[in-house]
C-alpha cells in the first residue's frame, strides 16, 4: 500500500491554496486603487466646481428694485437673511446680489416672524445698543448666524457690553471682521486713463458737521488756520447743499479729511467721497499712515503725522500748491485706479449674502464677545487665538489695549 507523502500530495495542495490567497490579494489591490481613485476624483470635482469669490461692482445696482421680502423663497438654494431693523431707520430696496457677485441670490426680509427660519440675522448696533430686550428673548439655533453690523467707530458705539453672547459673526469697516464692508474701495481700470485734474482756484477746504472744540481735529484746525487759509463748510460755517459738495470741493487743491475719532481702519466717506471722488488731494487725520496704506496708495494722500507741527504742514501745502509737477504726483495713481464711494446699505447686506453663500462655517461658540482680558492675552494676529476672526473682529473693536486696561482697572463697563 502506497502512503501519500507531503511531497507527493501536500505541496500541490498548498500551492493551490497559496495561489488562491495570492490571487485574492491581487484582486484587493486594484479594488483599493479603484475606490481611492473614485474618492479622489470626486473630491477634485467638488473643489473645482466650488464658486470662487467674484466682486463685479456696479454702482447702478444701488437703484434696483426689491422683490417681495415676505413671501417664502421658491429657490431652495437661497439663504434667508432677516434684517432686524432698517439701519438708522433708513429704508432701502434690496437688490439682486447674484448680479454683484455671481453667487446665488439671498432671500431678504424685515419680517421678524421669519426669525426662527432665517439662516442669518443682521443686527445694526446703533439701533439696538440701548434696548436688546427683543434680541435676548429670541432663541439662536446652533446653525443660525447672528451678524453684528456696525460702521461707527468705538467712540460712537455705546453700550458694547450689552452685546455679550448674542452674536457669532461681525460685519464692519474693520478689515479683520468676518464680513468686511468698507466705506469705499479702489477699482482697477481695464486700461490706463490720461491724467485729468479738475481746475483748482482755491487752496484748502473742510466740510464738518460734528463740531467739538475739544476734539483733536478741531484743535489741529485752529493751529493750521494760523498759517494757511482754510474754508470751512457745514453747520455754523459756510453753507453747502449736499448736491453741490463734490463740485465745490473739486475747486480746492487740498481737502481736510479729518475723522471725528481715531481708530484702526476707521476711514470714512471723508476720504473716499469728499476728497478722492471730488478729485482733490486729501490731508488726513485718523489712524496711522500705515493703516491708510492698506487701502490707498502712499502718494494719494498727505498725513498730518508726517509733520512735526501744523505750521510745518501748512508750509508744505503752500510749497506744493506752487509746484505743479510735485502736486500732480498725487494724481499719478489715478491712471489705473478709480475711487468708488457711496456704497449703499443694499450692497452691504449683499456682502453678507455672498459671505454666507461661499464660506463654510463650523458651529461657532455662543457669542463673539469674550472677556476683554482674554482678548488681551490672545492678539488677533497670532495663532494663539483659537476662536477665529469673529472674536477679534468684535473684541478688538474696542479702544487700544492700554485704554481697555485702564477702563477695566476703574471697573467700568462699556
State the pLDDT at residue 384.
30
* Domain layout of the chain by residue ranges: 59-181+344-409, 185-340
Q: Is 223 a catalytic residue?
A: no
Q: What does the DSSP 8-state code read for residue 310? A: H
pLDDT, tens digit (0-9, with 9 covering 90-100), for 1-43: 444 443 334 444 334 434 444 445 555 566 656 655 554 444 4
pLDDT, tens digit (0-9, with 9 covering 90-100), for 390-402: 333 334 444 433 3
CB count within 10 Å of CB 83 equals 25
For the whole model, what pTM was predicted? 0.71
State the pLDDT at residue 258.
99
Point out which residues pair with 22 in neighbouring strands: none
Residue with cell 484748502: 204
Please identify which of the residues 53, 99, 152, 293 carries the catalytic annotation: 152
Which architecture does CATH list for 185-340?
3-Layer(aba) Sandwich (3.40)
Report the C-alpha gap between 181 and 113 in whole angstroms: 27
Averaged pLDDT for residues 100-111 = 92
Report the C-alpha gap between 154 and 15 in whole angstroms: 82
Report the C-alpha gap between 110 and 93 in whole angstroms: 11
Q: What does the DSSP 8-state code read for residue 238? A: B
Sign of CA dihedral 66, 67, 71, 76: negative
Q: Which residues of 14-44 are buried (b: 16+ CB within 10 A; e: fewer)?
A: eeeeeeeeeeeeeeeeeeeeeeeeeeeeeee
Report the C-alpha gap between 106 and 83 in whole angstroms: 12
Strands (E), 181-260: 185-188, 202-207, 230-233, 252-258
If we measure between CA atoms, which residue out of 152, 166, 157, 148 comes closest to residue 394?
Answer: 148
**pLDDT band (50, 70, 90) for residue 136:** confident
Point out which residues pair with 186 in neighbouring strands: 339
Least confident of 21-25, 45-49, 139-143, 333-337: 45-49
> In whole angstroms, how far apart are CA 158 and each of 161, 215, 223?
9, 18, 31
Amino acid at each position: 500500500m502506497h502512503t501519500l507523502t507531503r511531497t507527493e500530495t501536500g505541496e500541490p495542495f498548498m500551492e493551490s491554496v497559496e495561489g488562491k490567497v495570492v490571487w485574492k490579494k491581487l484582486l484587493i489591490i486594484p479594488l483599493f486603487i479603484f475606490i481611492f481613485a473614485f474618492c479622489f476624483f470626486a473630491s477634485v470635482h467638488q473643489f473645482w466646481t466650488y464658486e470662487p469669490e467674484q466682486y463685479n461692482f456696479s454702482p447702478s445696482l444701488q437703484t434696483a428694485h426689491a422683490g417681495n421680502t415676505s413671501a417664502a423663497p421658491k429657490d431652495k438654494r437661497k439663504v434667508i437673511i432677516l434684517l432686524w431693523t432698517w439701519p438708522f431707520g433708513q429704508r432701502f430696496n434690496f437688490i439682486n446680489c447674484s448680479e454683484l457677485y455671481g453667487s446665488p441670490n439671498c432671500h431678504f426680509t424685515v419680517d421678524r416672524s421669519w426669525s426662527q427660519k432665517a439662516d442669518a440675522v443682521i443686527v445694526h448696533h446703533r439701533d439696538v445698543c440701548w434696548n436688546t430686550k427683543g434680541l435676548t428673548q429670541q432663541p439662536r439655533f446652533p446653525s443660525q448666524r447672528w451678524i453684528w453690523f456696525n460702521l461707527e467707530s468705538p467712540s460712537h458705539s455705546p453700550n458694547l457690553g450689552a452685546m455679550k453672547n448674542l452674536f457669532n459673526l461681525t460685519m464692519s469697516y474693520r478689515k479683520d471682521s468676518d464680513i468686511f464692508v468698507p466705506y469705499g474701495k479702489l477699482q482697477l481700470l481695464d486700461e490706463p486713463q490720461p491724467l485729468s485734474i479738475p481746475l483748482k482756484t482755491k487752496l484748502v477746504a473742510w466740510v464738518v458737521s460734528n463740531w467739538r472744540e475739544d476734539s483733536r481735529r478741531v484743535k489741529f484746525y485752529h493751529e493750521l488756520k494760523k498759517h494757511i487759509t482754510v474754508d470751512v463748510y457745514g453747520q455754523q460755517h459756510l453753507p453747502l447743499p449736499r448736491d453741490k459738495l463734490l463740485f465745490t470741493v473739486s475747486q480746492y487743491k487740498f481737502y481736510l479729511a479729518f475723522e471725528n475719532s481715531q481708530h484702526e481702519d476707521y476711514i470714512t466717506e471723508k476720504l473716499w467721497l469728499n476728497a478722492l471722488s471730488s478729485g482733490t488731494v486729501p490731508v488726513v487725520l485718523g489712524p496711522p499712515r500705515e493703516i491708510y496704506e492698506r487701502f490707498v496708495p502712499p502718494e494719494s494722500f498727505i498725513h498730518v503725522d508726517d509733520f512735526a507741527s501744523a505750521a510745518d504742514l501748512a508750509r508744505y501745502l503752500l510749497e506744493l500748491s506752487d509746484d505743479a509737477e510735485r502736486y500732480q504726483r498725487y494724481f499719478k495713481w489715478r491712471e489705473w485706479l478709480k475711487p468708488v464711494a457711496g456704497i449703499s446699505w443694499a450692497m452691504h447686506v449683499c456682502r453678507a449674502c455672498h459671505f454666507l453663500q461661499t464660506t463654510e462655517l463650523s458651529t461657532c461658540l455662543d457669542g463673539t464677545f469674550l472677556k476683554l482680558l482674554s482678548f488681551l492675552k490672545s492678539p488677533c494676529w497670532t495663532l494663539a487665538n483659537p476662536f477665529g476672526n469673529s472674536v477679534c473682529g468684535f473684541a478688538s473693536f474696542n479702544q487700544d489695549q492700554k485704554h481697555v486696561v485702564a477702563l477695566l482697572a476703574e471697573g467700568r463697563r462699556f
